[in-house]
Amino acid sequence: MPPVPLAVTTSTKVDDVQIQEARTVAERWGLPFLRRRAKEGVAPWLGTKTDALIVVGGDGVTLWEPEGSFGFSAGMAHLRRMRLRAGEPDTFVKVAELSPGDSVLDCTLGLGQDSLVASLAVGPSGRVVGLEKSLALCVVVAEGLRRYERGADSCAVDVLHADAHAHLKTLPSQSFDVVFFDPMFAKPKKAQPAFEVLRRFAEHAPLTPEALEEGRRVARRWVVVKGARYTDDLRKLGLTAEPLSRFSDVAWGRIAAASRS
């Protein structure tokens, strides 16, 4: 039998509670569950039983593949949320003009960093939906967000396993205040090994003008696009980078919703 593309198992410290939690994760995402004996290594499973593995443990959910592993971390989003709570500005919140009660569609969930920041900016009365095409990344980030203690001042991030270009076409016009795209940078800087695992699973297709126009149809206010300062990605889409810090490697562009043109 060829290996399955993705499966779920437990960490080495196996108990009934953890087994049930891992089974629940497997059922939630329609994945096979592989029973693991105490202290049994999973390296021999990769490439034989499964191509990649979601490991559910006491310390969270981790994606394993033959060349490394990757686990969810709030990372910089946690720091950005702390600064936002302290009244400091956040670039995404500023460019998108996010306010309490807004709805945000994050078409490229990735690590979930900007969605986490948006969930605080729009507050408990707002709505944030994140789309992720890669099932493996979707499971890790969605389960990580589920376990993250966001606080009563933030809404939950609803994660959908979906191709953003196709999903946008199914949505009514003006159904979100802000539509956000953060395509994977074409020219990555040096990164930690865990991020290289993420890049191998992430969607690398560039944002197309057609998808941008669908985003404008779905948005009520803005479509916001994050790009890399060292590329011409924004210019190719007809966007001009916002006048922000010249020391940042990130460029931000936005275009008004179709209804406002």
Per residue in 220-234, pLDDT (tens digit) is: 999 999 987 767 778
Encoded tokens for 43? 């390296």
- For residue 247, pLDDT over 70 is answered with no
In DSSP notation, 213-258 reads: HHHHHHEEEEEEEEEETTS-HHHHTT----S--TT-SEEEEEEE-G
Domain boundaries along the sequence of the chain: 4-66, 75-260
> Of all residues in the chain, what percent carry a pLDDT higher than 90?
64
Closest by CA to 127, choosing from 165, 163, 171, is 171
Mean pLDDT of 67-74: 87
Is CATH 3.40.50.10480 the right assignment for the domain spanning 4-66?
yes
- For residue 144, pLDDT over 90 is answered with yes
pLDDT of residue 257: 95
Contact 72, 195 (CB under 8 A): no
| Distance (Å, whole) CA 63 – CA 82 | 27
pLDDT tens for each residue of 87-137: 999 999 999 999 999 999 999 998 899 999 999 999 999 999 999 999 999
Contact 116, 142 (CB under 8 A): no
- For residue 195, pLDDT over 80 is answered with no
Domains 4-66 and 75-260 share a fold: yes
pLDDT of residue 137: 92
pLDDT of residue 245: 62
| Distance (Å, whole) CA 46 – CA 44 | 6
| Distance (Å, whole) CA 56 – CA 120 | 27
| Distance (Å, whole) CA 238 – CA 228 | 15
| CATH topology classification for 75-260 | Rossmann fold (3.40.50)
Instruction: Kindly indicate the confidence band of residue 69, based on its pLDDT and cuts at 50, 70 and 90.
Output: confident
Residue type, 182: D
pLDDT of residue 175: 97
Mean pLDDT of 42-52: 92
pLDDT tens for each residue of 5-21: 999 999 987 788 889 99
- For residue 204, pLDDT over 70 is answered with no
Q: Which residue has the higher pLDDT, 11 or 179?
A: 179
Mean of the per-residue pLDDT values of the chain: 89
